[in-house]
């Protein structure tokens, strides 16, 4: 059974810092890995999608890496801003019986202090 773990569960940093969020998964047989952002009480916004054959993806101040063999991904946020405060969720799309499923971690709650 695929399990996804995110560390740390919560993180508080001053504005301007660079930071790294970690995600690990137990089964390396994945289609892709997706990082999402969720604001309180809201839905999920996709940030980056990394295919299983890729090593990293970049979008603006965000960079996500994938090491499939070791079951790890990181989300790097450069020059953090108070508007980056949200919960960041990692999810892997993987084979599971007859359906392709997306399994989520519990998220990292990020607070960027002005």
Partner 1 sequence: ETGVTQTPRHLVMGMTNKKSLKCEQHLGHNAMYWYKQSAKKPLELMFVYNFKEQTENNSVPSRFSPECPNSSHLFLHLHTLQPEDSALYLCASSHLPGPESYGYTFGSGTRLTVV
Tokens linked to 11: 């993180």
- Based on CB atoms, which residue is closest to partner 1, 54 or 74? 54
CB of 107 to partner 1, least distance (A): 8
Task: Name the site residues for partner 1 (rule: CB under 8 A).
Answer: 4, 31-32, 34, 36, 41-46, 49, 51-52, 89, 91, 93, 97-107
CB of 13 to partner 1, least distance (A): 22
d(CA 64, CA 50): 8
Q: Of 18, 105, 33, 93, nearest to 65 (Cα)?
A: 33
d(CA 39, CA 67): 27
CB of 18 to partner 1, least distance (A): 25
């Amino acid at each position: 059974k695929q399990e996804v773990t995110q560390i740390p569960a919560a993180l508080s940093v001053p504005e301007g810092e660079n930071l790294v969020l970690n995600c690990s998964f137990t089964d390396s047989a994945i289609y892709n890995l997706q990082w999402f952002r969720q604001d309180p009480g809201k839905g999920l916004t996709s940030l980056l999608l990394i295919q299983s054959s890729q090593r990293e993806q970049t979008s603006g101040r965000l960079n996500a890496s994938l090491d499939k063999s070791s079951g790890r991904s990181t989300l790097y946020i450069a020059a953090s801003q108070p508007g980056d405060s949200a919960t960041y969720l990692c999810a892997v799309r993987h084979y599971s019986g007859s359906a392709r499923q997306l399994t989520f971690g519990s998220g990292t709650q990020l607070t960027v202090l002005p």
